[in-house]
Amino acid sequence: MQKNDIFQVEIKDIGVNGEGIGKYEEMTFFIKDAVVGDFIEAKVVKLKKNYGYARVEKVIKPSKDRVELKCDIAKQCGGCQIQQISYERQLKFKEDKVRNNLLRIGNFSEEEIDKVFEPIVGMENPFRYRNKAQYPVGTEKDGNIVIGFYAQRTHSIIPINNNDCKLGTKENAQILDLIKEYMQENSVKPYDESKKKGLVRHVLIRKGFETNQIMVCLIINGDKLPKEEKLIEKLKKVEGMTSISLNKNKENTNVILGKETVILWGEPYIKDYITLNDVKRDEQGKISFEKTDTKVGYQISAQSFFQVNPQQTEKLYSLALDYADLHGKESVWDLYCGIGTISLFLANKAQNVYGVEIVEQAIDDAKRNAKLNHIENANFFVGKAEEIISEFYQSNSKEKSNTIKAGETDNLVDSQMMTPDVIVVDPPRKGCDNLCLDTMLKMSPSKIVYVSCDSATLARDLRYLCDGGYQLKKVCPVDQFAQTVHVETVVGLQRVNY
């Protein structure tokens, strides 16, 4: 076989990146945009010794799981990897991915997994779920302004049909049209990455799904927008508009936001709420969610981190809380706490919560949000989770072996912190540091709740914790990112012999 050869193949499996997998003459082919069950004509793109890459030339017989694309640029754009697969099949793919990683990387047996695995929590509507969008702004060959997305693995901007990305909110298209209009009417130039000239680099739009408040921030290579009042005039007419700002980024960098944000009109924040849900299970174990009256409010600035899919986030965190099984007297660590989203949920049900996060600004947000919600039993620390908990643990062990002198008790670490009832972790993709896992084992809480955005590192860490004296109680994947290959998972662990 050679590059550009055409062959026919049946797609038998899905790869971790959502690509179709088929065999032809003892060679395994990874084929982008092919769906399991498709019979296709494929063209060889790249050959290795016993595998290769190909692309779909023609779908001869489509799979029953193949669906029509909702978006014309889905194939070029880096955003959706599996829009061509039915949502039901996407969910099965994600469930299998988590199971396989537990099996292969975590070395858990099928029986162990079956006993604890809960069915994946899918979305009611797998489109229009993102509350935040960031669009690069540029110039097309013909000189026209283009606002769109980067094509996969490049920095060339592809225009979105009618400016309407189907993962984002309906208002985004209207807002982008208005910004384009303002730029054309006032000769405001898009930024040109190669020449490092021009003004408007990106548009950031956020929406509070509960409050319907909208924030627009233009990221510019400069200090001021010419005739900014013209832009404000247009944008403030959009229903829900609450905050219009500009962010200065004059660096030659891929990082979207610069350090300084200036408010042009309205508030510096939008507000949104995440509602705590009761988790119910029917006789078959199928999970359903019932909204409670407990809501946590968050002020979100242009720079703040906030979960992009609020409807699924509330399910994810309600499950985490369900697994933590708190009754009001517990002390809980929330490691990798970000802006305290989970911590503030936990604080409603625990005696004390201690959140740890490496980004100082996120901790400022967490403290502000705690105040906003009149939560007084949440404490936050800036630093690496592994360092903070091991330092606390060591200093407390020393204190125990020394006689405590009068007057020193104020400096004592609260012993509750050293013997937490529950530790919750929500690390980035690389998972938990070993020192973090070791210290968790030493602190020996009765329960650990692990929230993960990468089931491979999750499986690795779960094996470590289970070898250290814990057992899996429950595992549940939650789909936060429909049309993409990503999946979140919540795991409940229990100390053995507890």
Which sequence positions are flagged as catalytic?
A: 453
Q: What's the min distance (Å) between Cβ of 362 and ligand SAH?
A: 6
- Residue list 287-306, contact with ligand SAH (CB under 6 A): 305
Please give the Cα distance from 295 to 485 (Å, whole number).
Answer: 30
358 is a contact residue toward ligand SAH (CB under 6 A): yes
Identify which of residues 141 and 259 has a Cβ nearer to ligand SAH in the complex: 259
Q: Enter the DSSP assignment of 117.
A: B
**In this structure, what are the phi and psi dihedrals at residue 347, rounded to the nearest 5 degrees?**
-60, -25
Task: State the minimum distance, in angstroms, from the CB of residue 354 to ligand SAH.
Answer: 12
Least Å distance, CB 103 to ligand SAH, is 26
357 among annotated binding-site residues: yes
Residue 14 is classified by DSSP as E
Contact status: 428 vs ligand SAH (CB under 6 A): yes
Residues from 327 through 346 that contact ligand SAH (CB under 6 A) = 336-339, 341-342
Residue of closest CB approach to ligand SAH = 338
Identity of the residue numbered 7: F
Q: Which of residues 172-201 bind ligand SAH (CB under 6 A)?
A: none
Q: Is 336 annotated as a binding residue?
A: yes
Residue span binding ligand SAH (CB under 6 A) among the ranges 28-36, 67-75, 187-195, 420-428? 420-428
480 is in an annotated binding site: no
Which residue, 153 or 259, has its beta carbon nearer to ligand SAH?
A: 259
Q: In angstroms, what CA-CA distances link 2 with 29, 45, 46, 49, 283? A: 13, 9, 8, 12, 55
Q: Please, which residue, 55 or 271, has the CB nearer to ligand SAH? A: 271
| Spatial distance between the Cα atoms of 226 and 346, rounded to a whole number of angstroms | 47
Cβ partners under 8 Å of residue 58, min gap 6: 40, 41
Three-class HEC string of 421-471: CEEEECCCCCCCCHHHHHHHHHHCCCEEEEEECCHHHHHHHHHHHHHCCEE
Q: Which stretch binds ligand SAH (CB under 6 A): 47-55, 150-158, 279-287, 353-361?
A: 353-361
Alpha-carbon span 119 to 319, nearest angstrom: 12
- Closest to ligand SAH by CB, 337 or 378: 337
> Using CB under 6 A, which of the segments 76-84, 106-114, 356-364, 475-483 binds ligand SAH?
356-364
Instruction: Spell out the residues 6+ positions from residue 43 whose beta carbon is closer than 8 angstroms to its own.
Output: 4, 5, 6, 54, 55, 57
Cα 449 from Cα 447, distance rounded (Å): 7
Taking each continuous run of H as one helix and of E as one strand, the counts in the chain are: 11, 22
First to last CA, the chain: 60
Binding range to ligand SAH, per CB under 6 A, among 118-126, 350-358, 413-421, 458-466: 350-358
Footprint (CB under 6 A) of ligand SAH, residues 384-403: 384-385
Q: Which residues bind ligand SAH (CB under 6 A)?
A: 305, 307, 336-339, 341-342, 356-359, 362, 384-385, 426-428
Annotated binding site for S-adenosyl-L-methionine: 307, 336, 357, 426
